[in-house]
Chains A and B, each alone.
Chain A
Amino acid sequence: MRTVTFADEDLCAWLNKTFVLAWFDVKPDSTVAGLAPLQHAYAAEEIAAYPEGGGGANIRTLVCNPDGVVRHALEGWWPADKFREECERGRACVAADSLEAAKAIRTKAAAGLETAAAAIEQQNPEEMRKPIRESKVARQAAALRLRATSFRIMDSAVGQSVLALTSEYFEDGEGKVMK
C-alpha cells in the first residue's frame, strides 16, 4: 500500500481532504530483522503481479464516523482506483441514517461484486479454465470475489468502536483474524 496505492498523488490529496487519516501499527516495536519474513522490498515485477486483495489480515482498512464507530471495513491490498471506490463507499456508510443502513450498503455491494464476478466467469469459460496467473480475466473475476469476501470477513467490525477494535489487534499483535 505504501509504495503503490499511496504513491498516487491524486488519491492522497483526496484522502487528506476527505478524511482524518490514522495509521495503526500492530507491531510498533518491530525492526526489519524481526519482521524479515513479513516485509521485504518488492521488485517492480513482483508489485505488478501482486494480486488485488492480497495481504489479507495484514492490511485492514476501517472507515469510521466522526465518533470513531466503524461503518465500513475491508481487508487486503487494493490499487488506488479500487481503494478510492471503497473509501467512497465508506463515506456513504458513514452518511447512512443508521448502522443497519450502512450494513445494507455493504451487503448490496458485496452481492454486486459477486454478480459481476459470476458474469465474467460465465462469459469467459475458456479463460476460467486457465491457471489464474495466466489469465487477466480470471484474475479480474477472482479480485471481485475476494473484495466481496473481504467485506464479509470484516462484517463483525462494523458497529464497533475503533479504539476497542484496535486494542484487540494490539494485544494480539499477530495480524490474525479479528475476534
Chain B
Amino acid sequence: MKIRATLFALLLAAAPLFAEPAGEDQFRTWVRQLASDDIQVRDAAQRELEKLDGKWKPELKKALAAATDPESRARLGSVLEILCHPQWHTDLDEAMALAKSGNKPLLVLVTPGAPDGFS
C-alpha cells in the first residue's frame, strides 16, 4: 500500500515531464483568452503563448490578422516580437537580477552601439 502510494506520488510529480506540447485546441484557447475580462486570464494566456516555439509563428500571424480586439492584437504582437527578435536588456543590473530570480543563464553581447544600431 505504502509502495503504491509512493509510486503514485512519483508519477504525479513526473507528470509535467510527460506533458504533451501545445496542440491546436490549446493554442486557440489561449488566443481566445487574450480577450478575457479577467486580466489574470489574459496574462496567463500570453505567458503560455510566449513559451511556444518558432513553428507557431504562422498561426500567431494568422491570429493577429484575424483579431479585432485591441488588447488581443497588442498581446499577440508582443508574443510575435518575442518569437522573432531578441529581447535585449540594456540595463545589465536589471538583466542580472532577472537571471538570478529566474535561475536562467545570462548572455551578454559586448559591442559598440545600441541593439538597433547607432543613432
Check B92–A13 contact: CB distance below 8 A.
no
Q: Is the interface of A mostly helix, strand, loop or mixed?
A: mixed
Number of A-B contacts (CB under 8 A): 161
Task: For A1, list chain B residues within 8 Å (CB).
Answer: 109, 111
Considering only residues 21-38 of chain A, those with a C-beta below 8 Å from chain B are 21-27, 30-32, 35, 38
Count B interface residues, CB 8 Å: 38
Considering only residues 48-101 of chain B, those with a C-beta below 8 Å from chain A are 51, 53-54, 57, 82-90, 92-93, 95-96, 98-100
CA of A65 to CA of B98 in the docked complex: distance in angstroms?
12
The smallest C-beta distance from A56 to any residue of chain B, in angstroms, reads: 11
CA of A27 to CA of B112 in the docked complex: distance in angstroms?
5
Q: Is the interface of B mostly helix, strand, loop or mixed?
A: mixed
Task: For A6, list chain B residues within 8 Å (CB).
Answer: 85-86
Check A20–B98 contact: CB distance below 8 A.
yes
A15-B107, A16-B86, A21-B86 known, 4 other contacts, Cβ within 8 Å: A6-B86, A25-B114, A63-B105, A67-B100
